[in-house]
Chain A
C-alpha cells in the first residue's frame, strides 16, 4: 500500500510540487529569518569574540555592552597588571571618529586602538599588508567592507597607500584586514593605541577597556571576580561580556520583538501553508481513500499511506527550503549588510523540528477525517 501511496502522491505533478513548494517556502521563511536574527545578535558580540587572546575584559562598572564606552583612567592598567594571576594586561581604545578623505568626503568610522607593544586586538585575516603594517607611522588598517564603503567602486585592497585625515591628523592606510562584522556597520579602522589616543579629541580618560590574559592554571572567572574586588571595576570573561552584549540588545532594544514577530509570522504562515496544503491534498483524495476502505484497506494501512505521503513531501520540501536558504546566504556572503550571516546547523535542526511538528499535526488532522470517512461514501454518486 505504501507504493500505492507514493504513486497517489506523485501522480498529480501539480499538486505534488505545490505541496513541496508550500513546505519549502515555509522552511525558507523560518530558517532565513531565524538565521538573520541569530547573525544580527552574534554581531553584537563579534568585537569581543574576535579578540581571542584576552580571557577577561575590564571596564567601567556602568558599561552594559561593547559599544557603550566609559573610559577608564590610565592608572587602572597598572592596577590590573599588579593583580595576582594576571599574565598580562593591555589597553584597548574603542570609539567613533570622523574620517575625511582628500576629496573632502566625511565618513564616520569605528576606530580601534590596539596595544602598541603586543598589538593584541588586531585583526588576523590580512588581505593586504600584515600585522607589522600597524607599526608604521600614522598607520591605520581598514576592514574590506569599510574600504569599499569609503572608496566605492574600487577594489578594497587598492585603499592601501591612500591618505586621509582624522580630526586634522594625517593617517595612511597601510593594510586591509578582515574582521567579523560588528552590529554597528561603520567602517572599522584599526590603529595603535598611542595613535588612537593622539588623534581623537582630548578627554580626561581614553582607555576603553583593559584586556587581560590569565596566568596558566588560573580560572578566568575567578580572576575576573578578583579584579573586580581589587579595582572596583567591572571584569567579565570574554564569553560573559559577549553574552552581556547580546543580552543588552535582546532586552533593551526592539530587535527581538520585531524579529520575534517576523519569526512568529513565518512559523504561522509556514504552518498554515504546510498544514493547509497537506490537509487539502488528503481531503481531495477522501473519496479515493473511501474506495480503498470499501475494497478492504484498513485504517492502519491508510494511516501509513498518509504518513508516508506527509514524510515524503516534508523531506523534499524541507530539503528544498534549506537548500534555497543556504544558497541565499552563500550568494549574499559578499554583501556587507549580510556579512557574517549564515545558516547554522542548530537552525536547520530547529526548523526541521518545527516543520515535522506541523506535518504531524496536519497529518493527524487529515487522518481523523480519513478514519471517519464512511466507506459507503463511494456509493453516493
Chain B
C-alpha cells in the first residue's frame, strides 16, 4: 500500500526580494498509514510550515506533495479545498472552534461545508462526540468547556468525515498534563485505523511516548528519524 503522504524536495521562502527568508530546505517526508507520526523540533525550525504545506493550506515555493496519491501541489485552490474537506482532518493548537456554535455543531462543520444539512450533520457529530467521551457536553458552547474538552470537540471535528490523514498542530500545547494525555490517547486510537495516518507537530516531550515514529527538524531540514535510527541523542524519547 502506498504511503498516506509523500513530500519531496519541499522548499519554502517567505518575504519579498530584498528580505526573502528560506524556512524549508528541500525537505523529503513520507508518512505511513496506521501510524502516529510526530514532527518535532525547536520553535522556528519550520515544522508548522511543513504541516501547512502537506495539508494543502500553504503552497510551497518548490517541491511536490502527494496525499493519498493525489498531487495536492498541482491542484488549483478550489480543488484543494474540496480535497481537504473530504480527505484531511485538522486539529489546531488553539482549537479554533466557532464560539457561537455548540460542541456538536462545531464538530459537524466539515460535513455542513460538504453539503450535509446541519440537522443530519449534528446527529452524526453527537455520535462521534459520544465516542470520544463527550456525550454530556454535546450541546455546550466552547466557552462552557475546559481546554481538554474543547480539544476533544476539535478531534471529533477532525474525525467526523473519516479522513485518511489527520494533521495536528501542537494539540497538547494549551492543555494540562492529564488533558494532554487524554487527547493523545484519542489520537493514538484514531491512528490505529490502517486506512488513516496521523501527523502531529509538537515540541511537548511529554507526549513523545505516543508516537509510532518521530521525525526531528532543525533549521528547515529533517535532522533525524526514528524510522531510520537517526534521531539525535539530545532528544529524549521515553
Interface residues of A (CB under 8 A from B): 1, 3-4, 7-12, 287-288, 290-298, 301, 374-376, 378-381
Contact = CB atoms under 8 A, between A and B. Distances in A.
Given A4-B101, A288-B96, A288-B98, A376 B52 contact: yes
Contact of B112 (A1, A10, A287, A290): A1
15 contacts: A4-B98, A8-B101, A11-B100, A12-B99, A287-B96, A291-B90, A292-B98, A292-B113, A294-B84, A295-B90, A296-B81, A296-B85, A374-B58, A378-B90, A378-B96
A4 B112 contact: yes
Given A4-B109, A379-B52, A296 B84 contact: yes
Given A7-B101, A376-B58, 5 more contacts: A288-B96, A296-B110, A379-B48, A379-B51, A379-B169
B118 A4 contact: yes
A376 B82 contact: no
Given A296-B86, A379-B48, A12 B100 contact: yes
A4 B100 CA distance: 9
Contacts of A378: 57, 90, 92, 96
A7 B114 CA distance: 18
Interface string B137-150: 00001000000000
Contacts of A9: 100
A379 B92 contact: yes
A379 B141 CA distance: 22
Contacts of B86: 296
A296 B82 contact: yes
Interface string B92-134: 1110101111000100011011100010000000000000000
A381 B94 contact: yes
Nearest to A375: B57
B152 interface: no
B196 interface: no
B78 interface: yes
Contacts of A288: 96, 98-99
B58 A291 contact: no
B12 to A, nearest CB: 11
Nearest to A302: B113
B157 interface: yes
B113 A295 contact: yes
A295 B109 contact: yes
Contacts of B113: 1, 292, 295-298, 301
Interface string B30-54: 0000000000000000001001100
Given A3-B118, A4-B109, A379-B51, A291 B100 contact: no
Interface string B51-77: 110010110000000000000000000
Q: Closest 9 CB pairs between A and B?
A: A11-B100, A296-B85, A291-B96, A376-B52, A375-B57, A376-B57, A376-B58, A297-B113, A296-B113
B92 A291 contact: yes
Contact of B100 (A1, A7, A294): A7
Nearest to B92: A378
Nearest to B167: A379
Contacts of B93: 379, 381
A8 B100 contact: yes
Contacts of A296: 81-82, 84-86, 110, 113-114
B84 A295 contact: yes
A298 B98 contact: no
A294 B58 contact: no
B198 to A, nearest CB: 16
A58 B205 CA distance: 99
Contacts of A291: 90, 92, 96, 98
B110 A295 contact: yes
Nearest to A377: B57
A11 B105 CA distance: 13
A294 B81 CA distance: 7
A281 to B, nearest CB: 12
Nearest to A301: B113
Nearest to B119: A3
Contacts of B112: 1, 3-4
A367 to B, nearest CB: 15
A11 B81 contact: no
A31 B30 CA distance: 64
Contact of A10 (B51, B85, B100, B157): B100
Q: Which of B85, B86, B112 has the most CB of A within 10 A?
A: B112
Contacts of B141: 11
Contacts of B110: 295-296
Interface string B188-227: 0000000000000000000000000000000000000000
B105 A4 contact: yes
Contacts of A8: 98, 100-101
Contacts of A380: 48
Contacts of A3: 112, 118
Nearest to B117: A3
A379 B173 CA distance: 13
Contacts of A4: 98, 101, 105, 109, 112, 118
Given A1-B112, A288-B96, A379 B57 contact: yes
A9 B48 CA distance: 31
A290 B157 CA distance: 15
Nearest to A8: B100
A376 B101 CA distance: 22
Nearest to A297: B113
